[in-house]
Amino acid sequence: MKSPQIIMETGAHAAALAVKSARVDVVPGYPITPQTSIMEAIAAMVENGEMNARFIPVEGEHSAMAAAVAASAAGARVFTATSANGLLYMHEVLHMASGGRLPVVMCNVNRGIFAPWTLWADHQDSFAQRDTGWIQYHCSSNQEVFNTILQAFRVAEQINVPVMVNFDGFAISHCLMPLAIPPQEDIDRFLPLHEPEWRLDPTHPSSFSNVTNAAEYAPFRRMLSDDILASIALTKKAAQEYQEITGMWDGDTIDTYRLEDAEVVAFAINSMAAELKLSVDILREQGIKAGLLRPRLYLPFPAEDIISVLPQNAQVMVLDRNYNFGHQGGILASELKSALHGRRNDITVKNRVMGIGGIDLTRRFMAAEIRAMMDE
């Protein structure tokens, strides 16, 4: 058995290398900070022959997603990437990808939304696409970005639902970390060639996304909803099989740290959750039984898995890097409360919004915030 190749790479390049390893056929792309480096890396690999694919330099994100959706309907394995306003500009076509049951995989490099301008990370962009029918993963390291893209294709193609792989701008996209690249034959074993059940094929003329009656439309929507829920089990299976083949593990629907005996549980996603492991250590040194629960899968929300691992009578401190406009606090807290309602009345949920527009979230700052929340 060959051992993985270890290199130093940014999160953006880790994503591009995963796309190459997945033997993607078509990549429509449009630049936007901080996603741009993914597209640049893919364009370069296609140009120099390292990657056997078509790169389509489209004129905007709406077109990027449209080209992705159409290429997928033609039977190709397709990837694209975006950030913030680019993701918002795609919104209409995101619905076509999910409603059309097309297994496109996209990276969204999280960035705060205009207006006013910010270049830096928060999670308003991906959460604003919650109701588009996309599965959403959120990653906390460069390695996890690489691993998750491969797992995303696997899950997407099993149930014909598109998947968004999210990670923070700059903290992940532009920071170098060690990256292990498994041998290509292992990746091919985990992710075989895409063989869609159906594609646009002149030998079988049929209509796609045509006009429906309500009696036909409603079952389409119900099946989509059911299959999105089915991705919880498939996410676990993909993570396990990926671990069996490559030896690497980032969690499945959730990732936990020092959780078993925790009385205070930090609850957050993306790069801040990696930093929170250090905050947990600080709190433990101070005699507080702290732990971490990070949803890796945000949509569908892994309610059962969260309910089953939360220790008895825990205080859950939800650190939201977004606003739930019209409510107090953030969106993650709202999701968690809804999951726990009537199921775990022993749990207390507390919530703070922080890190908006890239404000630095250090381990000491977040440890202090959690201590303060304990007294609330």
Report if residue 161 touches other proteins, rule: CB under 8 A: no
Q: Which amino acid is at 19?
A: V
Q: ∠ CA 297-301-305 to the nearest 5 degrees? A: 85
Report if residue 210 touches other proteins, rule: CB under 8 A: yes
Q: ∠ CA 39-40-45 to the nearest 5 degrees? A: 95
Under 8 Å between Cβ of 293 and 256: yes
Report if residue 52 touches other proteins, rule: CB under 8 A: yes
Report if residue 96 touches other proteins, rule: CB under 8 A: yes
What single-letter DSSP state applies at residue 375? T
Among 31, 33, 43, 74, binds other proteins (CB under 8 A): 74
Q: How far apart are CA 213 and CA 125, in angstroms?
A: 33
User: At closest approach, how far in Å is the CB of 62 from other proteins?
Assistant: 6
Of 56-64, 142-150, 167-175, 311-319, the segment contacting other proteins by CB under 8 A is 56-64
**Which residue number, 1 or 211, has a Cβ lying nearer to other proteins?**
211
- Provide the token pair at 241: 């099989």
Report if residue 216 touches other proteins, rule: CB under 8 A: yes
Q: How far apart are CA 158 and CA 103, in angstroms?
A: 8
Strands 105-110 and 79-82, sheet pairing: parallel
Among 5, 6, 178, 209, binds other proteins (CB under 8 A): 209
Sign of CA dihedral 24, 234, 126, 223: positive
CA distances from 274 to 136, 143, 267, 288, 361 (A): 18, 12, 11, 19, 11
Of 8-16, 22-30, 285-293, 353-361, the segment contacting other proteins by CB under 8 A is 22-30
Report if residue 48 touches other proteins, rule: CB under 8 A: no
Among 78, 150, 292, 373, binds other proteins (CB under 8 A): 78
Neighbours of 203 (CB within 10 A): 4
What single-letter DSSP state applies at residue 24? -
Count of residues in contact with other proteins, rule CB under 8 A: 44
Report if residue 156 touches other proteins, rule: CB under 8 A: no
Of 121-129, 207-215, 265-273, 288-296, the segment contacting other proteins by CB under 8 A is 207-215
Under 8 Å between Cβ of 28 and 1: no
**Which residue number, 58 or 288, has a Cβ lying nearer to other proteins?**
58
User: At closest approach, how far in Å is the CB of 15 from other proteins?
Assistant: 20
Among 16, 21, 22, 25, binds other proteins (CB under 8 A): 25
Q: How far apart are CA 59 and CA 41, in angstroms?
A: 18
Report if residue 19 touches other proteins, rule: CB under 8 A: no
Report if residue 188 touches other proteins, rule: CB under 8 A: no
Which residues form the interface with other proteins (CB under 8 A)? 25-26, 28, 52-54, 56-60, 62-64, 66-76, 78, 92-93, 96, 193, 200-202, 204-213, 216
